[in-house]
Amino acid sequence: MNPSLIIDASFLVAAFLFIYGLKRMSSPVTAASGIRVAGLGMVIAVVASFLYVFNVNEAAKPHLLVNAVLGAVALAIGLGWAWTSGKKVEMTAMPQMVALYNGMGGGAAAAIGAVELFRPGAVHTTIPLVVTIIGSLIGAISLSGSVIAWAKLDGRINGTWRFTGLQAMNGTFFVATLALGLYIAFAAHGHAPAWMTAAFFVLALIFGVLMTMPIGGADMPVVISLYNAFTGLAVGFEGFVLQNPALMIAGMVVGSAGTLLTLLMAKAMNRSVSNVIFSNFGATGAEEQGEIKGSMKPIDAGDAGINMRYSSKIIIAPGYGLAVAQAQHKLYEFVKLCQEAGVEVKFAIHPVAGRMPGHMNVLLAEAGVPYDIIFDMEDINGEFKEADVAIVIGANDTVNPAARTNKSSPIYGMPILNVDMAKQVYVVKRGQGKGYSGVENELFFADNANMVYGDAQKVLVQMIQAVKSLDGGH
Amino acid sequence: MLTGFIALYIFMLAAFTGYEIIGRVPSILHTPLMSGSNFVHGIVVVGALFALLNATTVTEQVIGFLGVLLGAGNAAGGYVVTERMLQMFKSSKA
């Protein structure tokens, strides 16, 4: 049988399985099977692609054995490394790991473009050549940008680059990179000297670094999602260059899905994507803030626990701090104690709780919390006024009422969880510090709010002990 | 050949597909979904493999090798973390 027929048929099957798998991933009930369906598609496509050995061009035939061995070795190393690192990574570190894997995909797309541009004697027509260069540019930016995003979220790079003229410098850099790309396409017709092609890739990589360095940690999820869309586009474009419909379809599906996801995330944070990329969020603000009336009132963890045990409805607003303290298991233990005592318990998740949308759901799922007591902000915000207790654990900016009222606040306009409307608010917090955005939280000073100071895990242990000793005493 | 308009049709329909799939996803699944879509573009490894197998110079071989390595990392890593996350989602009725 004709190998290219088998390859084409396999890619068709793979494209179907990718789309069907992604579709199944859109509901929590079928999601786990969805990724396996998509995974099967990937295995079929990769295995079939080894049939390319029967179809290589004449010039490459003498090198075929070496190339095939190189391919198998590269596959084994990439697969082995990613498989083990993926199994090991903590759920809290998931966003940066996704960023890293995504950057690798961008790099692979750029590499495809580079091989095309470095191929001696290749005949380039204008449209595929322009698409190759754009795909390479986007892929390279995604690679270096994702690596910076990973390093920042992983705490390997601290601080952000901000100085006057930064945007002008980045703009100049981008224009220079683009101009070089256009020169290679239209003046050199793809046969630019090797140093020039290499310079194009180096410039694109540097631009990815420059573009990501000024972006603060709080905005990083939006950036990761944007780079995810970038990689998708780059893969789609290089798929066109290689005349490979599987790459075109998979790349473009991810390109558009990733773009929409980026917009949804930015909307949840009340920021536009251009605002995330081009503004200096958090650089100002703190000193402009007015005096906050009231004081922070501490309460003992055990007392707070007992009060919750005797209330009829509590809503929990968890944040990234909960996961950092690795307290989600203890939290669920406490929740189960309350549920056994007849308390109605719900979780309220802000769209940007954790380090990216949905991250908190993953962290709670890790602790075994069933997803049907976890609610999105818009579904639960109306219920806070009926709740006896709202407890905030490791969250800050997402519950700051200043976002509703204080026009001078940098987070003004961001939708927040209405925890302040509950009869009683407990805030579990390590100390008196500010949130990720550097804004003081007036919720902590409100009349109906009490602070439970301490490490979230220790606080929850105290709450559990207090409730247990109470029930055991009967 | 997938030239000109055929390619544009493929891109257009694929873009709509991606848009439709994400539009209906509850936000609790956004992280696994971002990771899952990240996995799907790992298909780039197939393109990198094609480029490597057709390499004729050492430069192409080196770049192609890197491409396959990175693409394989994208696909395998994306799969593992997505599956790990999705396996944890459980209903209280189950």
- Tell whether the model's pLDDT for residue A472 goes beyond 90: no
Report the candidate in A88, A85, A113 with the shortest Cα–Cα distance to residue A101.
A85
- C-alpha distances in Å from residue A265, one per residue of A68, A357, A400, B81: 42, 7, 19, 21
How confident is the model over A312-339, as pLDDT tens digits? 999 999 988 888 888 989 999 999 999 9
CA distance A16 to A37: 10
Cα gap A334→A460, rounded to integer Å = 7
Residue with the larger pLDDT of the pair A99 and A164: A99
- ipTM, two decimals, is 0.94
User: What residues in A contact B63, CB-CB < 8 Å?
Assistant: 111, 114-115, 118
Interface check A264 vs B, CB under 8 A: yes
Average pLDDT over residues A452-472: 89
Angstrom distances, CA of residue A437 to CA of A125, A224, A291, A348, A410: 50, 19, 18, 21, 8
Option in B11, B42, B92 nearest A105 (CB): B42
* Residues B68 and B52: beta-carbon distance below 8 Å: yes
The pLDDT of residue A285 is 40
Contact assignment for B59 to A373 by CB distance below 8 Å = no
Q: Give contacts of B62 with chain A, Cβ < 8 Å.
A: none
Whole-number mean pLDDT of chain A?
A: 87
> With an 8 Å Cβ cutoff, is B92 touching chain A?
yes
Categorize the per-residue pLDDT at A424 as very low, low, confident or very high, splitting at 50, 70 and 90: very high
Contact flag B68-A108 (C-beta cutoff 8 Å)? yes
Q: Do B2 and A240 touch (CB under 8 A)?
A: yes
Residue in B with minimal Cα distance to A24: B21
Which of A197, A235, A259, A356 to mutate against chain B (most B CBs within 10 Å)? A235
Per-residue pLDDT in tens (0 to 9) along chain B, 94 residues: 566 789 999 999 999 999 988 777 777 788 888 899 999 999 999 999 999 999 999 999 999 999 999 999 999 999 999 999 998 888 776 5
Query: Given a cut of 80, is residue A359 above it in pLDDT?
Result: yes
pLDDT for residue A254? 95
pLDDT in tens, A183-224: 998 888 878 888 999 999 999 999 999 999 888 777 788 899
Residue B39 is predicted with a pLDDT of 96
State yes or no: is A376 an active-site residue. Answer: no
Task: Report how far residue A311's alpha carbon sits from residue A298's, in angstroms, rounded to the nearest whole number.
Answer: 20
How far is the C-alpha of B42 from the C-alpha of B40, rounded, in Å? Answer: 5
Residues 35-54 of B with CB under 8 A from A: 35-54
Q: What is the pLDDT of residues A267-295, one digit of tens each?
A: 777 777 887 777 654 444 444 445 566 78
Task: List the single range of A105-109, A272-276, A289-293, A431-435 with lowest mean pLDDT.
Answer: A289-293
Please answer whether residues A435 and A401 qualify as being in contact, where contact means their C-beta atoms are separated by less than 8 angstroms. Answer: no
What's the confidence (pLDDT) of residue A297?
87
Residues contacting A262, CB < 8 A, separation 6+: A222, A225, A226, A228, A229, A273
Q: Which of A96-100, A263-267, A277-281, A406-410 has the highest mean pLDDT?
A: A96-100
